[in-house]
A and B are shown apart, each in its own frame.
Chain A
């Protein structure tokens, strides 16, 4: 992994057209501005991990779907 020291306002160029700019530095938080072409997806890394975890968990609950149908009925009964 390449490790760089950058000051507030400094920029890093990745490839030919991705620019990362250090907007501000506070106690435990660095604010970054990212300029990338539209075909490059920029995401917080942990979001992908969270989505993966949800997908794995989704599989474990599939046998419980029949219960939800009952629950839905209960809910709609009480609404009436």
Chain B
């Protein structure tokens, strides 16, 4: 099989070489960005953070994090309609990320645990899934919840 490569423009990374096989399709887009369907995940070196970069709009890139890195007991049920949409057959198909919001005061950095990004890594299909789950806040403050003694 020939691996198709394409060069994607990215405001954060400049020119980004993308294997076609790494492109993740969000059929419904991402809330507020419904028109963008194709994304790629880029890893930051030596960092728990990753990027969800649109390949259709170089200006659209979300900082994301593996929620289990910050909240090991994070868990939720994936609804039947999502299992079907993403063609998820087993747990090994699934990767979960959460979008990170970094305000001007970076100590107030927060993670959206309420609406995780669920990806079928084998079929390369993704969705931002809205949980109506009281346990997980839309704004989970990263540093307030870390074990540090840093003064606020």
Contact = CB atoms under 8 A, between A and B. Distances in A.
A2 to B, nearest CB: 25
Interface residues of B, number: 41
The A contact surface, by secondary structure, is helix
Interface stretch (B1-9, B16-24, B100-108): B100-108
Contacts of B44: 65
Nearest to B138: A50
B126 to A, nearest CB: 14
A34 to B, nearest CB: 11
B63 A52 contact: no
B112 A54 contact: yes
A51 B63 CA distance: 15
A68 B54 CA distance: 22
Contacts of B107: 71
Interface of B: 12, 30-33, 44, 47, 49, 51, 59-63, 79-81, 84, 99-104, 106-107, 109, 112, 114-115, 128, 130, 132, 138-139, 143, 146-150
12 contacts: A38-B79, A43-B130, A54-B101, A55-B31, A55-B99, A58-B100, A59-B60, A59-B62, A62-B12, A62-B61, A64-B102, A76-B148
Interface of A: 38-44, 47-48, 50-59, 61-62, 64-65, 67-69, 71, 74-76, 78-79
